[in-house]
């Protein structure tokens, strides 16, 4: 018999939302890396279900939920389709705008060779921002769902926080490894990433202890994690790093480094 914290409807909603937003981050990263549609599907699927599969395997909930509900596997395909169509539409509009600008004035002709590169740089930057936003949303939802399910299976508070964090960061780590990127949680210059997930999971543990866990409080906890992650990206908040004598933060090679999280 599972504890009262296990709300099947709430858990399903959190998992579906987390699956979609994480799948979007995977598909967008694939676009940024110039992968084809197969690569988009692979990154979207592994990002969407990776953290949940790790959670379920640790809990002994086998087969993992992602493989007992076909919807969970179909949602990333929908995210890929949306990303694919929107990307082609936006790039088509950019091409039209560029052709229109070429026909305007001699001044625009002066930028004929530089404008395409500028558009590409700007659009790739926009993709990176979108990846960060969707990743933050997935991190927020999955750390809450992971901690709640851990409590439902009888784990203690510390273990629930740990499993909530793993659920939140697991899919993103798998995505980055497959895309040949260093995971955010391990990069020296990374803004707070695992820390918001840990705090979100801890909030769920406290709410359950106080018998205040419900849809509203779970949503507020996820919102807190989402806002904290975006604020960390906006203002460059990083976890502290051991300092050498003299106050500088350097690695063994003498290069400047920053805290990771």
pLDDT at 119: 43
Does residue 141 have a cis bond before it (omega within 30 degrees)? no
User: Please, which pLDDT band fits residue 186 given cuts at 50, 70 and 90?
Assistant: confident
pTM passes above 0.75: yes
Burial 31-57 (b: 16+ CB within 10 A, else e): bbeebeeebbbbbbbbbbbbbbbbbbe
> 21-44, pLDDT tens digit by residue?
999 999 999 998 989 999 999 999
- Predicted confidence at residue 7, as pLDDT, reads 65
Q: Which residues contact 124 (CB under 8 A, 6 or more apart)?
A: 32
How is residue 183 written in tokens? 């995971």
Q: Are 90 and 181 in contact (CB under 8 A)?
A: no
Domain map of the chain by residue range?
8-235
For 104, list phi and psi in degrees, rounded to 5: -80, -80
């Amino acid at each position: 018999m599972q504890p009262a914290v296990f709300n099947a409807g709430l858990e399903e909603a959190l998992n579906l939302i987390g699956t979609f937003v994480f799948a979007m981050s995977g598909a967008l990263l694939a676009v940024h890396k110039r992968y084809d549609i197969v690569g988009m599907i692979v990154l979207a699927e592994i990002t969407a279900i990776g953290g949940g599969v790790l959670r379920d395997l640790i809990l002994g909930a086998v087969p993992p939920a992602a493989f007992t509900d076909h919807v969970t596997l179909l949602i990333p395909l929908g995210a890929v389709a949306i990303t694919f169509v929107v990307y082609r539409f936006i790039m088509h509009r950019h091409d039209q705008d560029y052709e229109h600008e070429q026909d305007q004035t001699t001044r625009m002709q002066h930028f004929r060779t530089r404008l395409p590169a500028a558009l590409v740089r700007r659009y790739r930057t926009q993709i990176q921002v979108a990846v960060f936003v969707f990743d933050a949303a997935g991190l927020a939802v999955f750390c809450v769902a992971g901690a709640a399910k851990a409590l439902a299976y009888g784990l203690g508070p510390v273990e629930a926080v740990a499993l909530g964090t793993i659920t939140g960061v697991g899919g993103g780590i798998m995505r980055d490894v497959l895309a040949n990127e260093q995971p955010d949680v391990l990069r020296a210059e990374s803004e707070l990433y695992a820390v918001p997930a840990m705090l979100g999971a801890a909030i769920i543990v406290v709410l359950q202890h106080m018998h205040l866990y419900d849809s509203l409080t779970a949503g507020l906890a996820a919102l807190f994690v989402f806002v904290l992650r975006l604020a960390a990206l906006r203002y460059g908040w990083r976890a502290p790093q051991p300092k050498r004598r003299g106050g500088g933060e350097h690695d063994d090679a003498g290069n400047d480094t920053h805290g990771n999280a």
